[in-house]
Structure 1
Amino acid sequence: MKIAIAGGSGFVGMALIQELRKENHEIYILTRNPENKKPITGVKYVKWLDQSASPENELAGIDAFINLSGESLNSGRWTNKRKRIIVESRVETTREMTRILSMLTKKPAVVINASAIGYYGTSEKEVFTEKSETIEEDFLSRTVQLWEKEASRAKAYCGRLVFARFGVILGKSAGALPMMVTPYQLFAGGTIGTGRQWLSWIHVKDVARALLFCVNHEAINGPVNFSAPSPQQMKYFGKTIGTVLHRPHWFPVPPFLLKTMLGEMSTLVLEGQKVIPDVLQHHEFTFAYPDLKAALHDLLK
């Protein structure tokens, strides 16, 4: 298949490229600076988000478009300016994706737009599936709602539209895990906040595999939770890191300290939601890493 990826140079994008190359797909990466990219066999870089660019001319006949673009939530303290960048980067790139799709004579069979489980809001008691609605509105849930609303315009230009609602993605050198592991490596790891908050996690390899799974399965449409089937509370998550690294778990990090250090961004680790991947399980997707301890062994050993 011919598959276009916006945001293909990022953490998830690189894992996805590895998965797609195994099956010899034609890969088109949309990027602002194609001239600065390292050549990869089977990958063509296409310039976009530039007045001189016409990416639609190079994407004729694509079978799938996967949009992973957006400013990282971990890119800095959530000042009003940073929050505006986070929202606008998602809305603007998604709007450009829809424009490109509208220009294509042959429409792709599927469009997958990145999203997040932040859509649901936070809770220590609720269990969320793809059928759940937002239970409270905070910055993350409002951002995701705006993002998905903009992406929904792409329905007119594709066979299927999937919202990939990512949980906390665990990777060896990127994502949230390295920051969470550092205190344990310094023998100073411990429970973050109350420890009761839920962490709906997923191994980055399973993210890449599930994206391709959604491309290949015509019955999958709409929201899809990208999270492992075994969400864990933060206290257990920390203890498991300590066990895998053979480090103690004894220095608690009080909520007020994180709120002082990170401001509103502290909600990423102090609050959470228990999310179940009903759609992937219903369609019999097999997780390579359904168990947290096995996932951490793979990433940290």
Structure 2
Amino acid sequence: MKIALTGGTGFVGKALTKELIKYGHEIFILTRRNHLKNSANLSYVQWLNDGSLPEKELEGIDVFINLAGESINSGRWTEERKKKILTSRITATKEVLRICGQLRKKPSLLINASAVGYYGTSLNKTFTESSMEHGKDFLAATVQQWEAEAFKARELNIRVVCCRFGIILDKTDGALPRIALPYKLFAGGTVGSGNQWVSWIHLKDVINGIIFAINQADLEGPVNFTSPNPVSMREFGQTLGEVLHRPHWIPAPGFALKAVLGEMSLLVLEGQKVLPAALTSHGYSFQYDHLKPALLDIFK
């Protein structure tokens, strides 16, 4: 297949590109950067720069994967930063739709990044893709607008899958290295109340799940990318300490994190119990469906 990919140099994008090339697909990474060298089965296409017309190089693509957007966990959520988080996602998705509209042959599928933050936070509710309610905080509002833009691709008769990612676990990127650091320094412990839910997923299941969605023609709409077995923050920390052979003993109180992180603290102090009903009902088999084996693989 010919696959166009935005966010291809990011956390998930790099791993996904490597796996797709391994399967023999031809990948076109859309980027603002200049002078990146093409290689076998991998081409770089300019976009979102003055005068760039990526559609001229993307005729005949089969799948469009949109992972572009400002990171939500790389800085305090000031008003300026929140605006950048939202506008980066909406701008990229609008441009993806514009490109698709210009192509003579439309791609059959748009896979768009999203987040479980759509559901808002709760200690006692369980969310699946059929859950109708959504959150009212900044992250939930961002995801709602982002998905609404992506689903406009249906007007072009393009199948749309919005991947509602949970906390993606990997050794070198994402949230896990920051969570693991205190444990490595023998200072790990329960974050906040410890009762908040952590809906996690191993990076390998993110990649395998996206490839599964490409090949599963009847899978569409919002799709939760989380393990079938979410855990409490307390259990997450205890399991992490066990895997790293470190104590789980020094708590990180919620008020201190709020003081340091501001509104962004909801990423660690609040949570939601999210189950991957769409993936499992379509027959996807998780490589890592329990936390301890996932962490053992990551830190082996």
TM range (shorter): over 0.9
The alpha carbon displacement at 1:133 in A equals 2.3
C-alpha distance in 2, partners of 1:39/1:26? 11
Structure-2 residue corresponding to 1:19: 19
C-alpha distance in 2, partners of 1:92/1:127? 32
> Contact 2:37 / 2:44 at 8 angstroms: preserved in 1?
no
C-alpha distance in 1, partners of 2:37/2:43? 11
Structure-2 residue corresponding to 1:138: 137
Structure-2 residue corresponding to 1:9: 9
Q: Residue type matched to 1:196 in 2?
A: N
Q: Residue type matched to 2:105 in 1?
A: K
> Contact 2:153 / 2:159 at 8 angstroms: preserved in 1?
no
Task: Give runs of aligned pairs for residues 36-115 of structure 1, distance below 5 A.
Answer: 37=36, 39-115=38-114
The alpha carbon displacement at 1:188 in A equals 0.2
Secondary structure of 2:160's match? Answer: strand
Deviation >2 Å, runs of 4+: 37-41, 133-136
Q: Residue type matched to 2:158 in 1?
A: G
C-alpha distance in 2, partners of 1:34/1:240? 44
Structure-2 residue corresponding to 1:129: 128
Deviation digits for residues 104-160 of structure 1 (CA, Å, limit 9, x no counterpart): 000111111111110001001000000112343000100001101111211122431
C-alpha distance in 1, partners of 2:55/2:135? 39
Matching of residue 33 in structure 1 with residue 27 in structure 2:
no
> Contact 1:231 / 1:274 at 8 angstroms: preserved in 2?
yes
Structure-2 residue corresponding to 1:209: 208
Q: Residue type matched to 2:13 in 1?
A: G
Deviation digits for residues 202-243 of structure 1 (CA, Å, limit 9, x no counterpart): 011110111111011101010100001110100000001100
The alpha carbon displacement at 1:38 in A equals 5.9
Task: Give runs of aligned pairs for residues 128-277 of structure 1, distance below 5 A.
Answer: 128-277=127-276
Deviation digits for residues 74-116 of structure 1 (CA, Å, limit 9, x no counterpart): 1210000000000000000000000000000001111111111
Secondary structure of 1:162's match? Answer: strand
> Contact 2:118 / 2:135 at 8 angstroms: preserved in 1?
no
Secondary structure of 2:132's match? Answer: coil
CA separation of 1:95 and 1:135: change in aligned 2, threshold 3 A? closer
TM-score calculated relative to the size of structure 2: 0.98
Gaps of 5+ in 2: none
C-alpha distance in 2, partners of 1:158/1:38? 33
Root mean square deviation, CA, Å = 1.0
TM-score calculated relative to the size of structure 1: 0.98
Secondary structure of 2:174's match? Answer: coil
Residues paired across the two proteins, number: 300
CA separation of 1:273 and 1:38: change in aligned 2, threshold 3 A? farther
Identity of aligned residues (%): 56
Q: Residue type matched to 1:29 in 2?
A: I
C-alpha distance in 1, partners of 2:155/2:275? 29
The alpha carbon displacement at 1:41 in A equals 3.4
